[in-house]
Amino acid sequence: MKKLSARRRHPLAALVVLLLALAATGGLYAAFAPAEKAQADTAAQSLAIDEGKKLFAVGCSSCHGLNGEGSSDGPSLVGVGSAAVDFQVATGRMPAQQPGAQVPKKKNIYTQHEIDQLAAFVASLGPGPVAPTEKQYTSTNPDDVAAGGELFRTNCAQCHNFAGQGGALTQGKYAPSLEGVEAKHIYEAMQTGPQNMPSFPDTTMPEEQKRQIVAFVRNLNEEPNPGGLTLGSLGPVTEGLFGWIFGLGVLIAVAIWVAAHTTKARKS
């Protein structure tokens, strides 16, 4: 102690005190920082919900109600979760351009940041499927394509066609083509069952199987054509139409052309 008091007038004493003070402050900050960080995160989340609520009031509330409770023009959004918002808004289906049998895909007018805010607000209304992370829908195993193909034929092909080209449903509704649809949106559609599509929750179709189906659909888009015209890969309808109209039509036209150029026809 004597040593310390003896040197308190030392020219470097102030520097030593300053260093000690800095170390103490740093230590205290390190001790309390995680709690402070969590607080900051909650603040960001509630900020996103606030911002999302404002966006919701402008773009969605006329049909879904000011608090997402639903109205005669749109269903309640309580419990639909962030995955449904991300799918519907990012593919431009919502806001709907007009009510009808089916809300078609169109140009998206929101940025991903705004969509996340909207999703945060809707997710705060009630628990529901959460938008997937990239890891959930990105497959790294090449075997997933084959496994996904089997699952696709069992669960999806009846509506979306064996080549994912989509097909007709009842009364103006249709299953859209899966060509060029982002992996994330395919995953979200299976999770949430948008519009008239049934949902395939994780309880009946585990996450891994959804990832395999996504891998198969993405692979379908890259498949080369084995030859000839695919005619939209829609199956017997387009092929029959093509056969009757173009095949037989051309044959009839040729027959008429051959028969029309006879001596007898030249009379008129």
Partner 1 sequence: MSHDMSEDKLPESHGSAGQHEVASHGDPFADPGLPAHEPRRTDIDERAAKRAERQVSLMFVVSMLATVGFIASYVAIDADKIVYIFPLGHVSALNFALGLTLGVALFCIGAGAVHWARTLMSDHELPAERHPIEADDEVRADVIEQFKTGAAESGFGRRKMIRNTLIGSMALVPLSGVVLLRDLGPLPEKKLQHTGWDLATPEHPLPLVNMNTNKPMKAEDIVVGSLTFAKPEGLEEDDETFQQQIAKDALMLVRIAPENIKDKDSAELGFEGILAYSKICTHVGCPISLYEQQTHHALCPCHQSTFDLADGARVIFGPAGHPLPQLKITTNEEGFLVATGDFAEPVGPSFWERS
Residues that bind partner 1 (CB under 8 A): 151, 154-155, 158-159, 167, 169-170, 173, 175, 193, 195-201, 203-206, 209, 224-229, 258, 261-264, 266-267
Rounded to whole angstroms, how far apart are CA atoms 63 and 68?
A: 9
Rounded to whole angstroms, how far apart are CA atoms 168 and 160?
A: 9
Question: Locate tokens 């030249």: which residue?
Answer: 266
What are the residues whose beta carbons fall under 8 Å from the beta carbon of 161, sequence distance 6 or more?
A: 167, 175, 233, 234, 235
CB of 177 to partner 1, least distance (A): 15
Rounded to whole angstroms, how far apart are CA atoms 145 and 206?
A: 16
Question: For residues 31 and 265, which CB has a smaller minimum distance to partner 1 in the complex?
Answer: 265
Question: Locate tokens 């890259």: which residue?
Answer: 222
DSSP 197: S
Rounded to whole angstroms, how far apart are CA atoms 212 and 136?
A: 10
CB of 180 to partner 1, least distance (A): 14
Q: Which long-range contacts (CB under 8 A, 24 or more apart) does 187-190 make?
A: 187/132, 187/136, 187/137, 187/211, 187/214, 188/83, 188/84, 188/86, 188/87, 188/129, 188/131, 188/132, 189/87
Question: For residues 9 and 266, which CB has a smaller minimum distance to partner 1 in the complex?
Answer: 266
CB of 192 to partner 1, least distance (A): 9
* Backbone CA torsion sign across 238, 241, 245, 250: positive
Question: For residues 65 and 129, which CB has a smaller minimum distance to partner 1 in the complex?
Answer: 129
CB of 252 to partner 1, least distance (A): 15
Question: For residues 34 and 228, which CB has a smaller minimum distance to partner 1 in the complex?
Answer: 228
Q: Which two tokens stand for residue 241?
A: 């139409």
Question: For residues 53 and 160, which CB has a smaller minimum distance to partner 1 in the complex?
Answer: 160
CB of 214 to partner 1, least distance (A): 15
CB of 225 to partner 1, least distance (A): 5
Question: For residues 52 and 166, which CB has a smaller minimum distance to partner 1 in the complex?
Answer: 166
Please report which helix (H) or strand (E) contains residue 168, including its range.
strand 167-168
Rounded to whole angstroms, how far apart are CA atoms 242 and 246?
A: 5
CB of 250 to partner 1, least distance (A): 11
Question: For residues 49 and 147, which CB has a smaller minimum distance to partner 1 in the complex?
Answer: 147
